Structure 1
Amino acid sequence: GARDALQNISVTLRQGEKIALLGNNGAGKSTLFLCCNGVLTPRAGRIVLDGTVVGSGKKERTRLRRSVGIVFQDPDNQIIAATVESEVSFGPMNLRQKAHEVAAATDRALAAMNLEAFRTRPPHYLSGGEKKRVSIADILAMEPRLILLDEPTAGLDNAHTERLEQTLEQLHGQGMTLVVSTHDTDLAWRFANRVIVMSGGAIIADGDAQAVFADADMLKRAGLKPPQLFDVAQALRLSRIPKTMEEFKCMTKQF
């Protein structure tokens, strides 16, 4: 018979956190995101926003979608408009904002994603990395407090991945709460303070990134490898585990 995509999930996302949601394909990451944002309604259980249970009414769903933005893995599934500007303004217009509010929110989102020069360009002709920035600007324009990014580096080359990570750091620095779903443990280690691991629709680990990645048996159960820097730091018996290659190079200069 059919089995539930999510099994007994209980998770709290706090303001200002930077979380990696880890798991292989089919672990339930995307389903969890779609429930958090109100696209899917769970058959059982409840979603609580700011201490209030979110009901099934249209008004409550809108409140949830306004607070929780989701950036899909493939920008082409998200982008619908003929120009970058009209694409980014679509969200706030949909939220029935006044024209001057829509314009201001669009300008802020384009500036945040460094897309001002692309205003009149058709988004479908942009590169993969540029489309990804447009799809994030789409969500920023609705001014959510929490952004869920589904496999944000999928299909991006190293340069665009690095640029995207810098953008996420900037957004987090401005107070945005971010959750990134990925099966890339290296990205999760660089990016997140807290790591949640899913397997078979259940959460099998949730905690401080270092503690989660130190549990080799659990990672194996989830079909994940430890981050490379974790392995290297342990092999070299470094005093702490570097977050980035740059940090690693600085630490190993004395060798």
Structure 2
Amino acid sequence: MADLEVEVVGGTHWVRLNRPQVLNAITTALKDELLAALERAEDDPGAACLVLTGTGRAFCAGADTRELAAAGEVENLLTSVARVERTQRLVERMRRSRLATVAAVNGIAAGGGVSLALACDIVVAAGSARFALLFGARGLVPDAGLTRHLVESIGRRRALALALTCADLDADEALRCGLVDAVTSDDELVSRVTELAADLVGRGAHTIALTKRAFAAPQHSDLSLEALTQAVALQGAATPGTRTAPAKGRS
């Protein structure tokens, strides 16, 4: 069973995270697959939209904690920074895509899963979706571009409050605070996003690309501090006597 499934329907590439047994947790290999899928979609002259979603009861539970624990045993600060920056590059590449990108959040989005959702232009959540910023509960800090994208979505003060309190929001709460753009029933999520994608494709790839360029975020803001602080947190989590590595599950 492939960890990533891609289906092309009209001008839309549907990209599905397919590790339901671990709530679609992201590994380094899956990051590379996601990036490759995005690049193939952009190379498709008939494509104007990409939909990112998950299989099973989760959208994405963030980083694979087993991989994190194994990495913590061998990484130093520099290699931890490099790994965090790898995730940042994926998220930023999604943000800069010429395609209209839609996150169809079908269930749990935790940690880096929230980052993946907010990397998309439009976020549609199923009624059962949850958005959990559990980094602090694991001795970590928000990463994967979340320190920037969360502020862009809901403002600095609210973003910081959610991060500090390790907020766990249901779909309606996420809608009220601006994390998502629409909420629909679980049964209607696919049909709702299918209609949205068709509407976006109808706008035309050229119009989408130009509109996204017009709204592009300033490029001078970098994420080096986010990468460094998360790497320091990861090193502390892996050091005996300070804090244990993240438990299996969300991160």
Q: Which of these two proteins has the greater Rg computed from alpha carbons?
A: 1
In terms of fraction of residues, the more helix-rich structure is 2
Q: TM-score range by the shorter chain?
A: under 0.3
Structure 2-normalised TM-score?
0.27
Normalization by structure 1: what TM-score? 0.27
Higher relative contact order by CA 8 Å / sep ≥ 6: 1 or 2?
Answer: 1
